[in-house]
Structure 1
Amino acid sequence: MPDWSYQTVFRPVLFRLPSETARDFTLQAMGLISRMPGGTFLIRTLGHMESSPILESELAGIQIPYPVGLSGTLDSQGTANKAMSPFGFGFIEIGPITPEEIVAHRRIRREPEAEVIVYPEPYANAGLAKTVWRLQKKQGHRLPLFIRTRQMPGSTWEAACAQQLSGMTELAPYASAFYIDAYDHAWSAERNAELANRLQREARERWGQEKPLLLYVPLDISEQTLEKLIHQIRPAEWDGIVLGEALRTTEGAAVGKPAKAVSLALIGRLRELCDARLALIASGGIHEPQDALDLLEAGATYVQLHSGLVYAGPGLPKRINEAIISERIRQGILPEAELPSFWSGWGWMCLLGIGMMIGGLLAWLIAATQVVLPYDLSFLGLSRGELSATNARLLGFMSHDRVTLAGTMISIGILYFQLAWHGLRYRHHWAKTALMTSGLVGFSSFFLYLGYGYFDPLHAVAAAVLLPMFILSMRAGADAPPRDAPSRINDRMWLRAQWGQLMLVSLGIALAVGGLVIAGVGVTGVFVPQDLQYLCTSPDMLNAINERLVPLIAHDRAGFGGALFSDALALLIMALWGINQGRRWLWWTFLLGGLPGFVAGFSVHFQIGYTDFMHLLPAYFAFALYAAGLVLLYPYMMRRETAYR
């Protein structure tokens, strides 16, 4: 459920449902998908969070791949942890976990205008026994689990201590680290500090440094009380401090955007009070990448997401990670990488793209004039005049297949050249993946030409020339992080761009399906009913005229289907992974790459009089998606880097 589908389709529907219903449905659906064969691959494909050593860190010996964590209260049952682990999270919180189950008797409430979620019972959870039973099962991911323990509401100081230690003992086999959430507003700062120190001391006696300990501090603590607490807990003996996500109200715990201001103030004060090496985790009010950057600048080491995923979408952790990389590049923390030479790989792909464009132009010229080549006529054993005499519309019909193939070839050439120049040259993983996937399909589709026993020497020569270029361009090279500045705020332009991305992703899927269908028809029945109506004939009649005529037409159809599928895969990956704020070159690539295909398809159909509405309806639909996507994405992709607040 990436942002382009969440913001446009799923969120409007889910927000019409009661909060619990929407949450449970979403988490269960994601969990189900992750457990299905290929489900995790699908989730990774849609999200495509590229790992980067730049973002890796270590917390008390625990390797953290990304500085973004997942809040435990968002998915208290852990239903979708496996599904959400590829989104760009570096760790997952489990909890709060109390000795006994705590049930909320009032409903969770959303306040969309304020971007707040109100929990009537902030410590609602399944209890220790059920949580341990769940953790005993295979987690399905390798992210570290930070387990948050909590005593039962209203517990005495002694009972709280016993419950915390008992819970940690039960949970220790599954915890990478513990969040000790023992603070009680009914007690003084001194009493809370005394409990924290005792828990920390006894936990160290049991597990030593094996289980890192982080003190969980509620977000609604006053600054004065926080200072008293920190002065008495000896921060140097802890592995970190977690600043909570909720603000208490008369109706429960409010988790949402207004918490950011409080988080900023308290994180800044914590950083002043604690050693610079102590890990600080902020988790309140992070709804857009800029929120995370602000908290990291204020002193946080990591951020943890909750309500931001509900209001901004599942793509938020990826956007935050990319924003952190961009910010480090802007600050000069990461040096400029030296661009590889032309012949190291990307240059060969540029030449391949130019070759495809030249080949497409020549094929268009031939298809629009002579239509057939001498070796085609030799295969049939007919002259051009004899071929035309067999059916007055036959050459026009063959021209429409060949012109559309030519337009697709030009489109592929433009995409390949642009992806090589702007993507492969800068070692962008997504660009290389688009080229690799499309190229493998494109060259493999050559064998579709042989489906009916017709060997096309010109296509064979072209493939023989271009294939070495493709192989040379795909030589291994270390991926480099994208240097484009991602959108850091969830403004109208970003929301509008989600609709534009939805249009282009839908276009890529539609064209891929169309390419498969056309290729399938080409190697099986060859014709659809509208084709035969246009030709006023049947396959048997064509076979009676010349038994090699249908194989020749099939070769054209299968070739066009394979090329269209190859083109669609490149477009789809670009739409899924490449769209970003200010990536102007990609918008122009979408525009210029799509025009040859649509111009070729529409012009040749109207030129030969093959204007059946049902036959052209898929093309009309595809063009509508193409135009809408470009219009909606234009402001976002043409926007230059902004000075963010």
Structure 2
Amino acid sequence: MPDWSYQTLFRPLLFKLPARAARSLTLHAMGSLSAIPGGSLVIRTLGHMEVSPLLQQQRDGVQFTYPVGLSGGTDPNGIAHRALAQFGFGFMEIGPVTVQPVRHEEEITRNTDGEALIYSGELENDGLGAVAGRMNRKQGHRLPVFFRIRPMRGSSEEQKIIEIRQLLEGLAPYAAGFYLDFFEDCTEMDGQRAAAYMLDIMRAARKLVPAKPLFLYIPLEMPDAKLRDLIHLLSLNGMLSEGIILGDSLQSERGFEIGKSGKQPTIHKLALLRREIGPQATLIASGGIHEPQDALDCIDAGADLIQIHSGLVYSGPGLPKRINEALLHRIVTKSEAQPRPPFWSGWGWMCLLGLGMIIGGIIAWVIASTTVVLPYDTAFLCMTPAALASVNERLMPFMSHDRVTLAGTMISIGILYGQLGWHGLRNRLHWVRTALMASGIIGFSSFFLYLGYGFFDPLHAAAALILLPMFLFAMRDRVEWPSRSPVNICNDRVWKMAQRGQFMMVALGFALAIGGVTISIIGITHVFVPEDLEFLMTSAAVLGEANDNLLPLIAHDRAGFGGALLSDAIALLAVSLWGIGQGQRWLWWTLLAAGLPAFIAGFSVHLQIGYTDLLHLSPAIVALLLYVLGLIWLYPYMVKSAAPRDVPREPATEGVCLK
């Protein structure tokens, strides 16, 4: 469930359920989808998180593909880890894990206005045995896993150390590293006891897992003075570990609150810790990260990696991808821009292909609106246009209706291809190349749909022979660059409205794809739908008896239109899924320009020939409604507003996002 579906449909429905039930339903749904063959590919395709070496980093012997991690409290039972791994996470936390299970019967509650989740108690988990058993099974992903391990509450100090050892030994085979959560216990001890306790745990951990990085888990509420003393003590004894992770919960009268209110305490603690431990140790922040700006602020305050929890619930599953894109944009804009590739390297061929499709579509529209049939059509039928009209007076208008709609679709494809070539391939954007590759393969393959009927269209074949080399030349440039365009970093009103617009455009893409497949199948099988025969006031058998080649000719038109519509739909769907971004004016105007000829052609020819059956036109009417609503809701986001500038700030300052 990407942000466009989560914000518009699923979140309003899920927030009507109790929080625990909503979490279980969501995780089981994602887990079930990822478990079926191809399920993970579907999830990855909807989000299309591009791997960039610029975001990769190695810390403490662990390779991180992305700097964004998943908090352990998001999916405590590991139900959907396979699915969540496709969202753009670079690592996962599992935990807290205690030796014995910890249960809380009280309901998790939400503070929607404050964007917070409120837990009645901490440390809820299935216990060491269940977690280790689950990890022993196939996980379905290769992300580094860090276990947050915690002694049981109420245990003696000696027993706590024993439990830490048990947890380390039981989970070491599956761990990339550990978060040692014992600092909270130290706040209840005097200085000497706390020192002995901490050093005993750290020595035991170092001995048991010498090759695994150990991060100290610091509660977000730990007093600054106490934190400085404990950090100083560990530093003096050489036991500071590889780094520190800051917790994400704040205790209130309602329970343990994890939400947006944790951002400022997190930034304060990050600045303090960075001063205390220096620049080398790794710092991980996890509190109050609900939008990309929050992550950028934490990075500016000293964090090296971040984890998200409540932000995934309130912002949506696209949050890790948006954070990655914001961090990547920061890196890219600090580097020198690459020189544009030459015209003939690839993108120029795509622009020519688009221009060729537009010209071909215009010519096809003129012919379909006037003579309708071409000489090779009449030669195939061995009938003049007048004789063809005598078979059925509505036959020529019906054929005109198929060919005009095909022409409008061709122009739409040409506009999309030309614009994607100029603005996308010219900048070597990965998603654009993927979109054009998928659309082009389907479009050129559709040429073979109607050959089984025995009709060979020489004009169509000639166009394909001319355009196919252009497509192949355009796809030969495989160099990819990250986008330098500003990205959205705020969950403001304009962004939320744009999610509705994107939902409409994605729905339109899927609807047109289904329509293209349906029309193609009907074209190569039944040829007509009942409404067609009602308009023609005849039957397929009668038409077939009039001329043996008539049905193959009409089938050719229908199959060709279905294939073109599917190709157009794939391009539109890819653009809607992967390309929509704040301030992308060119893409909004592309969507407008590409849609107009297709809709004008479709509706005008139906009105012109009198084929106004409401059932027949209803799919086109629904498509037009989706198209108009999508453009309206996307306009403020893509055209009127530019993405807020990402300007690194001092740790104590607020973000630039305006609500």
Q: TM-score, normalised by structure 1?
A: 0.98
Q: State how 1:301-450 maps to structure 2 within 5 Å.
A: 301-330=304-333, 332=334, 334-450=335-451
Q: Deviations over 1:413-469 (max 9, x none)?
A: 000001111111111111001100000000000001313110000000000000011
Q: Secondary structure at the match of 1:138?
A: coil
Matched, 1:268 2:271: yes
What does residue 612 of structure 1 align with?
Answer: 613
CA-to-aligned-CA distance 1:358-380 (integer Å, 9 cap, x gap): 00000001000110000100100
Distance 1:128 1:542 in 2: 74
Deviations 1:370-397 (A, max 9, x none): 1000010010001111111211111100
Aligned length: 642
Q: Which residue of 1 aligns with 2:651?
A: none
3-state SS of the aligned residue for 2:54? helix
Partner secondary structure for residue 241 of structure 1: strand
Decide which of 295, 320, 325 is 2:298's aligned counterpart: 295
**Aligned partners of 1:634 and 1:10: how far apart in 2?**
23
Match of 1:51 in 2: 51
CA distance, structure 2, for counterparts of residue 188 and residue 426 of structure 1 = 61
Report the equivalent of 2:251.
248
Contact 2:168 2:209 in 1 (8 A): no
Deviation readout 1:20-54 (Å, 9 max, x if unpaired) = 10011111111111101111111101111100011
**Conserved 8 A contact 1:236-1:278:** no
**Cα distance in structure 2, aligned partners of 1:153 and 1:163:** 11
**Tell me, which stretches of 5 or more residues in structure 2 are unaligned?**
646-654
How much has 1:155 moved relative to structure 2? 2.0
Point out where structure 1 has 5 or more consecutive residues left out of the alignment. none
Shift of 1:189: 5.8
1:339 maps to a residue whose letter is R
Taking the aligned partners of 2:311 and 2:152, their CA distance within structure 1 comes to 28
What is the rounded CA distance, in whole Å, between the counterparts of 1:525 and 1:188 in structure 2? 85
Deviates more, 1:315-324 or 1:166-175: 166-175
Secondary structure in 1 matching 2:96:
strand
User: Match for 1:587: what amino acid?
Assistant: W
User: Is the Cα contact below 8 Å between 1:182 and 1:192 reproduced in 2?
Assistant: no
Superimposed CA distance per residue, residues 120-179 of structure 1 (whole angstroms, 9 cap, x where no aligned partner): 111111011111111111111000000110000122222211111111111111111010
- Secondary structure of 1:41's aligned partner: helix
Query: Superposed, which structure 2 residues align to 1:34-433 within 5 Å?
Result: 34-183=34-183, 184=185, 185-188=187-190, 191-208=193-210, 210-234=211-235, 237-330=240-333, 332=334, 334-433=335-434
Q: Secondary structure at the match of 1:258?
A: helix
In percent, how many aligned pairs have the same letter?
54
Secondary structure of 1:505's counterpart equals helix
1:499 and 2:500 correspond = yes
Residue 189 of structure 2 aligns to a residue whose secondary structure is coil
CA distance in 1 between counterparts of 2:491 and 2:119 reads 24
In structure 2, C-alpha distance between the alignment counterparts of 1:191 and 1:538, rounded to whole Å: 94
Alpha-carbon distance between aligned partners in 1 of 2:249 and 2:154, rounded to the nearest angstrom: 19
| CA deviation after TM superposition for structure 1 residue 549, in Å | 0.8
- Which residue number corresponds to residue 541 of structure 1? 542
Question: What corresponds to 1:521 in structure 2?
Answer: 522
Task: Check whether the contact 2:181–2:218 (CA below 8 A) recurs between aligned residues.
Answer: yes
Quote the Cα distance in structure 2 between the aligned partners of 1:465 and 1:72: 55
Quick one: distance in 2 between partners of 1:252 and 1:280?
A: 26
Contact persistence 1:189–1:225 (CA under 8 A): no
Q: Is the 8 A contact 2:489 2:644 kept in 1?
A: no
Whether the 8 Å contact between 2:54 and 2:331 is mirrored in structure 1 is: no
Structure 2 letter corresponding to 1:614 = L
Separation of aligned partners in 2, 1:264 and 1:237: 21
Contact 1:182 1:195 in 2 (8 A): no
Amino acid at match of 2:594: G
What is the distance in 2 between the residues matched to 1:219 and 1:187? 18
CA contact (8 A) 1:190 1:232 kept: no
Task: Provide, for residues 499-548 of structure 1, a one-character-per-residue CA deviation record: whole Å limited to 9, x for no partner.
Answer: 00000000000000000111111000101111111111111111121111
Report what 2:475 is aligned to: 474
The 8 Å contact of residues 118 and 258 in structure 2, kept in 1 or not, is answered as yes
Distance 2:375 2:636 in 1: 50
TM-superposed CA distance for 1:200, in Å, is: 2.1
Give the aligned partner of residue 15 of structure 1: 15
Name the CA shift for 1:59/1:188 in 2 (closer, same or farther; >3 Å).
farther
Whole-Å separation in 1 of the counterparts to 2:105 and 2:521:
57
Shift of the 194–283 alpha-carbon distance from structure 1 to 2, 3 Å rule, reads: farther
What letter matches 1:166 in structure 2?
A: Q
Q: Encode CA deviations 1:299-338: one digit per residue, 9 max, x unaligned.
A: 00011000000000000000000011112233x1x32122
Q: Deviations over 1:225-246 (max 9, x none)?
A: 1111211111774111000000
User: Larger deviation: 631-640 or 197-206?
Assistant: 197-206
Give the drift of 1:339: 1.7
Greater alpha carbon shift after TM alignment, 295-304 vs 162-171: 162-171
RMSD: 1.2
Amino acid at match of 1:256: G
Alignment check: 8 A CA contact 1:451 1:555 kept: no
SS of 1:544's equivalent in the other structure is helix
Query: Equivalent residue of 1:99, what SS?
Result: coil
CA–CA distance in structure 2, aligned partners of residues 370 and 412 of structure 1: 24
Q: Aligned equivalents of 2:189 and 2:452: distance in 1? A: 80
In structure 2, distance between residues paired with 1:630 and 1:288: 24
- Partner Cα distance (2:196, 2:564) in 1: 71
Do the aligned partners of 2:345 and 2:477 also contact (CA within 8 Å) in 1?
Answer: no
Task: Give 1:188 deviation, angstroms.
Answer: 4.2
Q: What amino acid sits opposite 1:301 in the alignment? A: D
CA distance in structure 1 between the aligned counterparts of 2:493 and 2:46, rounded to whole angstroms: 23
Q: Distance in 1 between matches of 2:191 and 2:449?
A: 76
Distance (whole Å) between structure 2 residues aligned to residue 203 and residue 98 of structure 1: 15
**Matched position secondary structure for 1:509:** helix
How far apart, CA to CA, are the structure 1 residues paired with 2:636 and 2:310?
28
Larger deviation, residues 617-626 vs 220-229: 220-229
| Structure 2: distance between partners of 1:471 and 1:408 | 21
Which letter does structure 1 place at the counterpart of 2:488? S
Question: Residues of 2 paired with 1:27 and 1:326: CA distance?
Answer: 31
Matched position secondary structure for 1:52: coil
Structure 1 residue 568 corresponds to structure 2 residue 569: yes
**CA gap 1:193/1:394 in 2 versus in 1, 3 angstroms:** farther
Q: Take 1:41 and 1:27, find their aligned partners in 2: how far apart are those partners?
A: 17
What is the one-letter code of the residue matched to 1:275? G
Shift of 1:277: 1.3
Q: Secondary structure at the match of 2:63?
A: strand
Letter of the structure 2 residue corresponding to residue 514 of structure 1: G
Work out whether residues 432 and 474 of structure 1, in 8 Å CA contact, stay in contact via their aligned partners in 2: yes
Superposition deviation, residue 192 in structure 1: 3.9
Report the residue type matching 1:507 in the other structure. L
Deviation at 1:190, TM superposition (A): 5.5
Deviating beyond 6 angstroms after TM superposition, the runs of 4 or more aligned structure 1 residues are none
Letter of the 1:173 partner, please give it: P
The whole-number CA distance in structure 2 between the counterparts of 1:576 and 1:190 is 58
